[in-house]
Amino acid sequence: MGVEFKIIKELKSSLPKLIQVKDLKFKFDLKRGAKDFDNLDAIINVTFGDLSFRLIIEVSVHNSLPVFIQKISRLKSVCRHNDEVPVILARYLSPQRRELCHNEGVFFIDLSGNVYLQYNTFYVERVGFPNKFPEKRNGRNPFSDKASLILRAILKEGEHLWGIREMAEETGLNPGYVSRIAGELEKRNYIVRTKSKLRLRSPEGILDDWVRAYNLKKNRLFRFFCMTKSSSDILAKLSKIEIPGDVGYALSVQAGASLISPHSVFKEVHVYVRNQKDIEYFKKQLKLSSADQGANLVIMLPYYKKSVFFDSRIVTNLCVVSDIQLYLDLYDYPIRGREQAEHLFDKQLKELFPKVNSK
């Protein structure tokens, strides 16, 4: 049973500390394959005074949102009797995952100390405990620079069926590498295989997991002041520069979004460049001066060196990163970033995969 069984064993030893309720008694049933509960991870028979009920346990070991949603759906489908309480068990559940359980009428226990259980008059809720189990990188990371090229291509063509070699040609990656990453995407329920072709399964799940793995601050940021009246004037000056072919750039964050799906007022222009030489080029062309405070132009050297410019495009004579990259950069940007990201999703991204069933 592997990791799931280890988590259940850890629960057996720590449950009295997790739920400190006097006269509460537990009895674990680890027999798998019982009628109506085939392949569930465990059943815990509970007695408390005159109450008697069963915790139907499904263990969550993956960070993938689609897999988590699938487990919740399975729990809800197998709990058919009044004395059956559906419970997600994990080493740690984030506030977002705990909220999802609440919303779906499913309870939870995590080994870090967060508990939410209710049956009749029995009620326990203890939350706010930090993760006691720092995440170890298991398997291949689909959100790494190179691997993310595959996600970007799949999300761009939401209804397309991709062959491995076709994907390799689209992304410039080795077919063997594409095949290995595809296996990881399948395991996370991001994609499914249809007649040996790859098909997008959960676009919103991918984006939800991706923004939690992504951090705009991993880019190297260089802050400058450009002598202009407004951020729109910076864009106007930038659009008039004749940029040579060996200089690469693309706008992102609020400035990029303003050209694709405008929604928020902004005071800083963010632009990706490929290397230090490009920074020097724009410093000279725009007559920039370094500014720790009062900066209105931020030049970024990307940590996504291979993929950040994937699917970038020209809009009103300015290069802008893809909608996917815009969404990632905006999501946790402190100044109205989440609001702009959600607007971008509704107006642009959602149309990339209109007929895909993300559940």
- What is the per-residue pLDDT across 309-332, written as a single tens digit (0 to 9) for each? 999 999 999 999 999 999 999 999
Whether residue 32 is predicted with pLDDT greater than 80 in this model: the reply is: no
Q: What is the rounded CA–CA span in Å between residue 95 and residue 335?
A: 22
Q: What is the rounded CA–CA span in Å between residue 30 and residue 45?
A: 11
Q: What is the rounded CA–CA span in Å between residue 54 and residue 141?
A: 37
Q: What separation in angstroms does the CA of 10 have from each of 79, 82, 157, 185, 227?
A: 24, 27, 43, 29, 61
- What pLDDT is attached to residue 34? 45
- Checking phi first, is residue 65 left (phi over 0); if not, alpha (psi -120 to 50) or beta? alpha
- What pLDDT is attached to residue 195? 83
Identify the H or E element spanning 183.
helix 175-187
Task: Give the sheet arrangement for strand 318-320, strand by strand.
Answer: 289-290, 220-225, 297-301, 269-273, 249-252, 318-320, 313-315
Mind listing the pLDDT tens digit for each residue in 282-311?
A: 999 999 999 988 899 999 999 999 999 999
Mind listing the pLDDT tens digit for each residue in 330-350?
A: 999 999 999 999 999 999 988
- What pLDDT is attached to residue 275? 95
The residue with tokens 């004037």 is 233
Residue percentage of the chain with pLDDT more than 90 = 73
CA-CA-CA-CA torsion sign (217, 221, 224, 229): negative
- What pLDDT is attached to residue 306? 92
Q: What is the rounded CA–CA span in Å between residue 209 and residue 211?
A: 6
- What pLDDT is attached to residue 38? 54
- What pLDDT is attached to residue 359? 42
pLDDT band at 133 (very low <50, low <70, confident <90, very high): confident
**Global pTM value:** 0.77
Mind listing the pLDDT tens digit for each residue in 153-196?
A: 999 988 899 999 999 999 999 999 999 999 999 999 999 998 88
Whether residue 137 is predicted with pLDDT greater than 70 in this model: the reply is: no
pLDDT band at 136 (very low <50, low <70, confident <90, very high): low
- What pLDDT is attached to residue 350? 85
CA-CA-CA-CA torsion sign (200, 345, 62, 124): negative
- Identify which of 261, 242, 262, 238 has the alpha carbon closest to the alpha carbon of residue 250: 238
Longest dimension (CA), the chain: 80
Whether residue 107 is predicted with pLDDT greater than 80 in this model: the reply is: yes
What is the mean predicted confidence (pLDDT) over 192-218? 92
Mind listing the pLDDT tens digit for each residue in 8-24?
A: 989 999 998 999 888 89
Q: Which residues pair with 110 in a beta bridge?
A: 90
| Cβ atoms of 107 and 86 closer than 8 Å | yes
Residue percentage of the chain with pLDDT more than 70 = 94
Number of H helices, E strands in the chain: 12, 16
Using H for helix, E for strand and C for coil, what is the string for 260-287? HCCCCCCCCEEEEECCHHHHHHHHHHHC
Looking at residue 322, the DSSP 8-state letter turns out to be -
Token duo for residue 28: 């674990």
Whether residue 358 is predicted with pLDDT greater than 50 in this model: the reply is: no
Looking at residue 318, the DSSP 8-state letter turns out to be E
Q: Mean of the per-residue pLDDT values for the chain? A: 90
What is the CA 225 to chain-centroid distance, rounded?
A: 33
336 residue type, one letter = R
Whether residue 355 is predicted with pLDDT greater than 60 in this model: the reply is: no
Mind listing the pLDDT tens digit for each residue in 78-90?
A: 898 899 999 999 9
What is the mean predicted confidence (pLDDT) over 113-120? 95
Please report the domains of the chain, with CATH numbers, ordered by start residue: 3-126 (3.40.1350.10), 145-213 (1.10.10.10), 216-351 (3.30.460.40)
- What pLDDT is attached to residue 135? 64
